[in-house]
Chain A
Amino acid sequence: MKKISLVQMKEKQKGKVVEFVDGSNFVNKIMSMGIYPGRKITKLSHFVFKGPITIKVGRTVLALGHGMASRIIVEIIE
């Protein structure tokens, strides 16, 4: 299965979180908001020029910065 970052995902694609790239503070925060390995997410939108990315996690819509998104690794679900 191909592993890509949230940034590389296309809009409306679904994926499963696999791992995070470094930063324990960031991981703590994002885990408490409901993003953890094994969690299914859907990418909603993507803003150009390294703008924010929005995703749907369960019933929550989250917006996160480009840098954070690039540190979340997902596996695409067909």
Chain B
Amino acid sequence: MIKRICLVGNPNVGKSVVFCRLTGVQVIASNYPGTTIEITKGYLEIGKEKIEVVDLPGTYSLEPSSKAEEVAVSLLKEYQKDEIIVINIVDATNLERNLYLTLQLIEEGYQTLVCLNMCDDTKHRGITINAAELEKFLDVPVISTCAVTGVGIKLLIQRLSCSTSFYLAGSSFTGKEVKLITRNKLGHRERWQEIGRIIEQVQHLEHRHHTLREALEDASVRPFPGLIMAMGIIYASFKIVRFVGEFIINRITDPIFFNLYKPLLEKISSSLGEKDSLYHFLYHLFIGDLINGKIDFKQSLGLLTTAPYIEFGMVLPYLVSFYFVLSILEDTGYLPRLAILLDNILHRLGLHGYAIISILLGFGCNVPGILTTRILESKRERFIASTLISIGVPCMPLQAMIFGLLGSFGGFYVGGVYLVLFSIWIILGIILNRSLKGYSPELLVEIPSYRLPPLSILGQKLLLRIKGFLIEAVPVVLLGVLLINILLFFRLFDFVSGVFAPIITGLFGLPKETITALLIGFIRKDVAVGMLIPLALSAKQIFIAATLLAISFPCIATFVVLFKELGFKDLIKSSAIMIVTGLVVGTILNFGIIH
């Protein structure tokens, strides 16, 4: 009885795309090794049965060498070998290397079905593979697919359904069955020799001249043109994020809020009748305070005013533009190249180049950033990377609010926040690297070919991420604003701000009410920055408060992930580092900057 279908394969062969096609479950797929760090489950209906399908992180062999690979291998061992079917996804443009895992799987006695993916890409690379011949050599079914376009997936499902273990009536399919076969176990060297023999028979290579793509691929891994390209790409990415974000705000969201939503709200609020104390409370809750007799989206702090404006009018536009740019960088295959170029610098911080992918994801939201540190090899590295991300990498909602709030004082202050965070990052990284026991492991990573991602795929991924954001953020924001209002209404913050006044006012030079914003930062950073607006702070004060918000408590979601990934002891360590950094930096900024 088959209980589970596992998708197994080398990193970056398109397992997640095949998974989407088989189960209809949307997962994030990119063009770099290590996109999938968690196991995703879905179901495939074969006849009347619903079989569990699991998308595993990529692995080169059945002897794992990172946490993500460990997860993959341990999942294979959860059931008996006759209870699972392994779909081994193979990159057809890279058959030789991929066959190593294939042979290992077959030798270990897994019921295997080989899915020869990316078949569309072989033609213009001058590769011809005889799938029927390969089937003969391996003695397991081989199906050619192109998961991105969906070619071959139907056949794949058909082949699955006629495997011996399902006993479906009417499946009159002739061809190789998925079944248990025995194959001698080989050592590394014999296995490669065997692969060499197979390749010689099934693969035909045509010599092709260097294409422009290959020239670009080579140039971007060399120090000289590579670093200049990298600087250009990073600068352009940042500019595009700002430009697209501002465009959406000015042309789409602001007109909707100010021309449609606001008049509607004002009509409702003015038509409401007599004022008793309950009315007061509800008015305070939903609309908030009127500024000069009018609703002010940034300052009113109501559930129907500021809450939606922060999320949809200030944060969402930048989130859309950020994930749009990030998806392009991910899917073209540029990120691992950036990792090589930055490897040297990141080694000084106790990390290696590949950590840059976690860091970039952290700029969107710290949670996926910290989750992806699983692709790093050692615990020490994961601790450093997670700590640096939670302290020194501001998430997109926070950044969007900083643009909105500090942008009006000039680019100097916005740039200042980044400069301060970057410096903290370098200094803290060096300190952690020097003081923690152990050493940072070396980079060992495969560099994928450049691919031009289809727009539809980019769009799907953007939609998936935005949906994820809305589902997770909106309830929390509403809850946060509700909580703030109740606390403000009953003046409960007064006590807390009194306690923290010496630190907030004495060290950071901020009015004591700022503590409420810093505390709310624990729930959501964007709402926290929003709370700074009514305080009428000077540019310097906003600058300090925004920087502190970036450094200090990560939001609750990040906190939970840190706990899950690092464990309690390291979470406390990480938090202590955070608090000390916040205190030191806040004080330095306050006394160091002459206004």
Which residues of A does B touch, CB under 8 Å? 11, 25, 28-34, 36-39, 44-52, 54, 57-68
Number of residues of chain B lying within 8 A (CB) of chain A: 35
Query: What secondary structure prevails in chain A residues at the interface with B?
Result: mixed
Residues on A with beta carbons closer than 8 Å to the beta carbon of B125: 59
Q: Is B353 among interface residues, defined by CB-CB distance under 8 A?
A: yes
Q: Is B60 among interface residues, defined by CB-CB distance under 8 A?
A: yes
Residues on B with beta carbons closer than 8 Å to the beta carbon of A47: 223, 340-341, 343-344
Residues on B with beta carbons closer than 8 Å to the beta carbon of A58: 94, 96-97
Residues on A with beta carbons closer than 8 Å to the beta carbon of B222: 11, 44-45
B125 to chain A, nearest CB (A): 8
- Name A36's contact: one of B101, B189, B221, B341 (CB within 8 Å): B189
| A46 to B343 Cα, complex, angstroms | 12
Residues on B with beta carbons closer than 8 Å to the beta carbon of A45: 221-223, 226
Residues on B with beta carbons closer than 8 Å to the beta carbon of A34: 96-97, 100
Known A36-B188, A45-B221, A47-B343; judge A63-B447 contact (CB<8 A).
Answer: yes
Listed by A's residue number, 15 A-B pairs whose Cβ atoms lie within 8 Å are: A31-B188, A32-B60, A32-B61, A44-B222, A45-B223, A47-B343, A52-B340, A52-B344, A52-B353, A58-B94, A62-B446, A62-B447, A63-B343, A63-B353, A64-B443
CB pair B60–A61 under 8 Å, yes or no, is no
CB pair A63–B221 under 8 Å, yes or no, is yes
Query: What secondary structure prevails in chain B residues at the interface with A?
Result: helix
Known A32-B101, A48-B223; judge A68-B188 contact (CB<8 A).
Answer: no
CB pair A62–B445 under 8 Å, yes or no, is yes
- Name A33's contact: one of B217, B218, B336, B446 (CB within 8 Å): B446
CB pair A37–B97 under 8 Å, yes or no, is no
CB pair A63–B65 under 8 Å, yes or no, is no
CB pair B94–A63 under 8 Å, yes or no, is no
Q: In the complex, which residues 431-470 of chain B have their Cβ closer than 8 Å to any Cβ of chain A?
A: 441-447
CB pair A51–B343 under 8 Å, yes or no, is yes
CB pair B340–A29 under 8 Å, yes or no, is no
- Name B442's contact: one of A32, A38, A44, A64 (CB within 8 Å): A64
Most buried by A among B60, B61, B352, B443: B443
Known A36-B188, A63-B443; judge A54-B340 contact (CB<8 A).
Answer: yes
Known A28-B63, A44-B221, A66-B442; judge A60-B188 contact (CB<8 A).
Answer: no
Known A36-B192, A37-B189; judge A60-B446 contact (CB<8 A).
Answer: yes
CB pair B340–A63 under 8 Å, yes or no, is yes
Most buried by A among B96, B217, B336, B352: B96
Chain A residue nearest in CB terms to B344? A51
A52 to chain B, nearest CB (A): 5
Chain B residue nearest in CB terms to A61? B447
CB pair A32–B63 under 8 Å, yes or no, is yes
Most buried by A among B93, B101, B192, B336: B192
